[in-house]
Structure formats: structure tokens, C-alpha cells
Chains A and B, each alone.
Chain A
Amino acid sequence: MQPTPGRGASPMLPLSYLVTAAAAFVLAALAVPWLAPELAGHYYQPRILALTHAVTLGWITLTIMGASYQIVPIVLGRPIWSERLARWQLVLTAVGIAGMVGHFFFGEWSGLVWAAGLVTLGVGAHLVNAALSVRGLTQWTFTARLVVLAYVGLGLTTLFGALLGVDKLVRVLPGSLFPNLHAHVHLALLGWVLPMVIGVAARVYPMFLLAREPVGWPGRVQLWGLGLGVPATVLGILGSGALLAAGALAVAAAVGAHLAWVLDMVRGSRRPALDWGLRFVLAGAFALVPATVLGLALAFGTLAGPRVALAYAALALGAWASLTIAGMLLKIVAFLVWYRVYGPRVGREPVPALPDLGWPAGERLAWALLTTGFAALAGALWLGEPAWIRAAGAVVAAGAVMFAATLARVLHHLMPCARRAAAPASRVGAA
């Protein structure tokens, strides 16, 4: 027997990240209908940049960071190196993100650089914590490799972003603005978010779909596709059309292989029915198809211009990333709250089952609003009609509010009065 290697983080640590991220999602979604006139124009405007960073940093990055403090110990079997550092990191990153969004919104570039510096410190703390957590890892599984690849992507994205901010005050970056901007965006999307999501999906989806863990050639295609495709895409955006096309094809192959695995897991699922968290995740996976097609069209120059680029962003950041993350949150937040409140009482007294904490009707409505809203938003952005963008944005905003309400319903179990009300009428440990 070997000593037990460690344990998961306190549930309140990831929860504090996830609640902050959900608040950012709601604020960003509420801003979409309000920013409809700007969204009908070019994407390089201060308020659009503010909205984009509220989504990419406030919602997506904070969620992934928080979720990683719960999921990484499970999927990699390693404890978090320092929970205290993780708490300080949230403060630094959240304040920095709020500062960045605010300064983008008002176009105050000097303040933006300071705020970006705070975000860089926060990300640096996360990377140090992650590196020291996986130090000594002996089994370099598919998930472990992609998580490390994602962290490399996060570091480079943050560095590139900070340089873009400094570049507004002092010229430090070679090349012109838009290639640098597009490279930064794709480093974030393909180098940070994509490998983290598909790496974690390979371990977590089977856990919840009750399917066998995927194996075989699609794993190699995903690893090589992202490992080679992302650098090629980013360098291609910065200078070489041929490299960009090759990189985009490699990333598309990785996405295709990921979808093959997801399909395989769904087919092999032993669940009698999918819950709404899984339906969010699968709807997000489905959205990868149009997002990838648009990405390829942009890479090959078949389509071009701000309208297509904004539609592509709505599909990638909204329909894929946001739906996937929302689905994972429905699973993760419920587990963390259940574990915090009822875990110590299991086996000693009746406790609610995990599904009893959720609100399926609210989740169903949030799913319908967000899937419809993101699809409509992509179409409206392509058309460039402010009225349509406002209408689609209102549907997204309603979905985000509904999603937050479902999370609040779960979180209210942290209140002592909710615990007293829930326990007596519930089953013991059924699910």
C-alpha cells in the first residue's frame, strides 16, 4: 500500500470562483441587448472589447480556474498545492478583470495596463499552483497532457494580452494591430479553452454519462491536432496564410476527433435519461460543428469581414464554450454544495440525493433560452441588424438570468434553514 496522495480542495474554494464567474456571465449577457448598436458595427470598439473580456476572462476563465480546483485533483489524482494561494489568486484576478472590463468600456488605456497587470499576477499564481500540484505526476494520461497544454496556452495568452495592452501606450509588438489581436483571440480560444475542455471531457463526461472512458486513435488526433495546429494557426495569423490553413485543418481534425469521442460516449451511456447539465454540454459540443466550419472558412479566406467574425465569436464563445461550461457548472456546483452540506451526514441521517438539489424546470428553460438565444445571436450578428441583435441578446440575457436562478436554487442549500427543510422528506443517497 502507498500513502494516500492527497484530497480535494475545500468546496468553498471552487464555489467562490464559480459564483463570481456566473455573476460575470449574467452581467455580460445583460449587456448584449444594450450593446446591440455597437455589435452591429465593427468588433474593434471599446465596449465590444469590454464585453468580450467579461465573457472570456470573467465567465470562461474564472469558471475553468475554479472548476480545475475541484476537477484536477479528481482527474489527475493530485491535491491542490496551496488553497491559500488559490484564494488570493481569485481576489487578484477578479479585481483585475473588473478593472480591465471597466477600462476597456471607457477606453482608458493606462488604467487598462494596471488592471491587466493584476490579471497577469492572478494567472501567474494559478499557473504556479497548477505546476506545483502536478509536479511528480507519474501517469501522463491524455487528460494530463491536454491540461498542461492548456496551461501553456493560458500563460502565452495572458502574456500576449498584457503586451497588447502595453502596446497601446508604448509600441512593443511588431506587426499590425489586427493580426496581433486575432492571434491573441485564437491563442485564448484554441490554446487555452479548447484543450482544457476536451482534456477534462475525456475523464469527466464518462463519469456522468456512465460510459466507458474513450480510447484509441481519436485521442492521438486531438493531442497532435492541438499540439501542432494551435501554434501553426497563431503563427499563420501573424504572417503566413499557408501555415494558417494547415493549422486550422489540424485544429479542425482535433475537434472532429473530440466529437467522435463524445458521440461514442453518448452511444455507450448507461444512463436511462440525460439530465439538463448533460444536455447543455452536448448542445455545446454540437455547436462546435458550425463554429469550426466558420473558423475554417475564415482561415481559408472563403468568408471575411467583421460580420462573419462576430457570428463566429457568438458560436465559439457563446454556443460552444458557454453552453459547455454552463452544463459543467450545473453538475459541479450541485456536487460541491451537496458535499459541503450533506456529505458529513451521509450514513448517519437521511440526506437529499444530488438531483434533489437541482431545479429541472428552471434548467430546461435556461437550456431552451440559451441554445435558441446563441443560435439567433450568431445569425443576427451575421446580418448586422441592431433590432435582431437586441432581440437575440434579450433571449440570451433571459437564459443567463434563468441559469443563475437555477444555480441560486442549488446554492440556497448552504443556508441552514434550507438544510432543515430538505433532509426529512428526502431519500437516503438515491440518485
Chain B
Amino acid sequence: MIRRGAGAGRPFEPAPRPGELDRLRPVEVDVRDDIRRGEEPFARIMAAARTLAAGEALVIRAPFEPVPLYDVLGRRGLGHWTERLAEADWRVWFHPAAAAPPAPRAGDGAAGPMLDVRGLEPPLPMVRVLERLDTLEAGGTLTVLHERRPLFLYPQLEARGFRHETDEPEPGLVRIVIRRPEA
């Protein structure tokens, strides 16, 4: 399961380190030796992810960029930030998605928490968004990152009284800013 993903071989461009990571306690899982021995480390990683507590970040050390984990753990609501420490030494911080950095080239002041639902099978993106909105305070906003315009989500938002705006900051990335009106 933890294998070289479709991103293997592409040039690595580090993103700015999210400041929120400083407030999280790292729980490190080093799978480099497992992989050198030819053992499957996926179960260890998922066990650590399942027991991750509030205020903690799961930090994976691997001999290559573990691209498939981004979506697997993304489905558990974890965003990621990746460091390349050496040629065969990668460190990836998996953290609660709300602490994720803003979308690349975000054009206008989208504020509030962010939810990345890319890579989820329909209708999970809608489920994740509506569940998150249930706890959104009056006047608050939620920024959702999606792979496509969620045409079936919009009627649900409007039926619940949310306002929303959609744009496409870059090809393949759709951003929806959802606002709960003031009470």
C-alpha cells in the first residue's frame, strides 16, 4: 500500500511550512527500515493515524515521497506538509486538515478553516463538507478544495441557508468558500 505513487520522479517543490505545525506534538513513525527489509509498513502507519489525538501530527519518515498516503490519510481528514531531507529521506507531516496551508495562488481573502476533499469517492466530499458545516459558527466561513464543481452540493448549501462562491485558482483545483450568515 505504501508504494511509490504517481508523483515519483517529478521534481519536488517544497511548500512553505504551515505555522500551525509548531503548535502540534509530532508522533513520528519511521518506516525506512521496514521498507529496506521489504516489509509492508502500511498497517503501522494506519494504526498510528487511528490513535492520533487532538493537538498531534503524524510524522512519517520514508525513503521516498509516500504520495499514495496523501489521499489515504486525506480521507481521514489529515492534510500534509512534505520535507525532503536527503535523496532517500522524506519527512511528511500529516495534520488536521483545518490547519492546512491556504490553496496555492489563492486570489482573495478566503479566511477560516479549510477542508480538502480531493481524492474522495462521491458522495464523501459532500458528506465531509456538510458534517463540517454543521459545527460552523454564525458568520464563519469554510473553504473547500475540490477536484470539480460540486453541482450536487450547491442545492444542499442553499437549502441550509449557506452562501457560497466558487472559483478555480488553477486547473484541476476548485475552491468553494462557504459562509454561514450571521444569526
Q: Which residues of A contact B (CB under 8 A)?
A: 1-8, 73-75, 77, 79, 207-208, 210, 212-213, 268, 270-272, 335, 338-339, 343-344, 346-348, 354, 428-429, 431
For A3, the chain B residues whose CB sits under 8 A away are 165
The interface residues of chain A, by DSSP majority, are classed as loop
CA distance A75 to B122 in the complex (A): 13
CA distance A168 to B178 in the complex (A): 60
B130 contacts A354, CB within 8 Å? no
Contact of B152 among A8, A270, A272 (CB under 8 A): A8
Besides the known contacts A75-B148, A212-B6, A347-B130, 14 further A-B residue pairs in the complex with CB atoms under 8 A apart? A2-B166, A4-B165, A4-B166, A8-B155, A73-B151, A74-B151, A207-B122, A208-B121, A270-B72, A338-B123, A339-B126, A346-B156, A428-B127, A431-B123
For A212, the chain B residues whose CB sits under 8 A away are 6
Contact of A2 among B152, B159, B167 (CB under 8 A): B167
What distance in Å separates the Cβ of B19 from its nearest Cβ neighbour in chain A? 26
Known pairs A2-B167, A346-B130; A210 contacts B152 (CB<8 A): no
A7 contacts B164, CB within 8 Å? no
CA distance A77 to B152 in the complex (A): 11
A7 contacts B68, CB within 8 Å? no
B122 contacts A335, CB within 8 Å? yes
User: Which residue of chain B lies nearest to A267 when distances are taken between CB atoms in the complex?
Assistant: B6
For B71, the chain A residues whose CB sits under 8 A away are 210, 270
B167 contacts A429, CB within 8 Å? no
- Asked if B134 lies at the interface with its beta carbon under 8 angstroms from chain A, I say yes
CA distance A398 to B166 in the complex (A): 47
B151 contacts A77, CB within 8 Å? yes
Contact of A8 among B72, B151, B164 (CB under 8 A): B151
Can you list 5 residue pairs at the A/B interface with Cβ under 8 Å?
Answer: A1-B167, A6-B151, A77-B149, A346-B156, A347-B127
What distance in Å separates the Cβ of A240 from its nearest Cβ neighbour in chain B? 42
CA distance A210 to B155 in the complex (A): 25
Contact of B134 among A74, A348, A354 (CB under 8 A): A348
A346 contacts B148, CB within 8 Å? no
B119 contacts A347, CB within 8 Å? no
CA distance A73 to B151 in the complex (A): 7
User: Which residue of chain B lies nearest to A431 when distances are taken between CB atoms in the complex?
Assistant: B124
Contact of A79 among B68, B126, B127, B151 (CB under 8 A): B151
For A75, the chain B residues whose CB sits under 8 A away are 148
The 7 closest A-B pairs by CB, nearest first: A429-B127, A347-B130, A347-B134, A1-B165, A8-B151, A346-B130, A347-B131
User: Which residue of chain B lies nearest to A11 when distances are taken between CB atoms in the complex?
Assistant: B152
For B119, the chain A residues whose CB sits under 8 A away are 210, 270
What distance in Å separates the Cβ of B4 from its nearest Cβ neighbour in chain A? 11
The number of chain B residues touching the other chain, given as a range, is 20 to 34
- Asked if B90 lies at the interface with its beta carbon under 8 angstroms from chain A, I say no
- Give a binary string over B94-129; 1 marks a CB under 8 Å from any A CB, 0 the rest: 000000000000001000000000010111101110
For A74, the chain B residues whose CB sits under 8 A away are 148, 151-152
Known pairs A207-B121, A207-B122; A344 contacts B156 (CB<8 A): yes
For A210, the chain B residues whose CB sits under 8 A away are 71, 119, 121
CA distance A338 to B72 in the complex (A): 24
For B131, the chain A residues whose CB sits under 8 A away are 346-347, 428-429
For B128, the chain A residues whose CB sits under 8 A away are 429
User: Which residue of chain B lies nearest to A213 when distances are taken between CB atoms in the complex?
Assistant: B172
CA distance A8 to B1 in the complex (A): 35
CA distance A259 to B141 in the complex (A): 43
Within 8 A of A (CB), among B148-183: 148-149, 151-152, 154-156, 159, 164-167, 172, 177
User: Which residue of chain B lies nearest to A429 when distances are taken between CB atoms in the complex?
Assistant: B127
CA distance A77 to B177 in the complex (A): 17
For A208, the chain B residues whose CB sits under 8 A away are 121-122
What distance in Å separates the Cβ of B102 from its nearest Cβ neighbour in chain A? 15
Contact of A1 among B6, B108, B134 (CB under 8 A): B108
For A270, the chain B residues whose CB sits under 8 A away are 68, 71-72, 119
Contact of B123 among A79, A271, A272, A354 (CB under 8 A): A354
- Asked if B48 lies at the interface with its beta carbon under 8 angstroms from chain A, I say no
B159 contacts A346, CB within 8 Å? no
A7 contacts B151, CB within 8 Å? yes
CA distance A431 to B123 in the complex (A): 9
A335 contacts B130, CB within 8 Å? no
CA distance A268 to B5 in the complex (A): 8
A347 contacts B121, CB within 8 Å? no
What distance in Å separates the Cβ of A122 from its nearest Cβ neighbour in chain B? 25
Known pairs A4-B166, A338-B123; A347 contacts B133 (CB<8 A): yes
Interface centre among A208, A270, A338 (most CB of B within 10 A): A270
For B148, the chain A residues whose CB sits under 8 A away are 74-75, 77
For A4, the chain B residues whose CB sits under 8 A away are 149, 154, 164-166
CA distance A335 to B71 in the complex (A): 22
B133 contacts A5, CB within 8 Å? no
For A1, the chain B residues whose CB sits under 8 A away are 108, 165-167, 177
User: Which residue of chain B lies nearest to A203 when distances are taken between CB atoms in the complex?
Assistant: B148
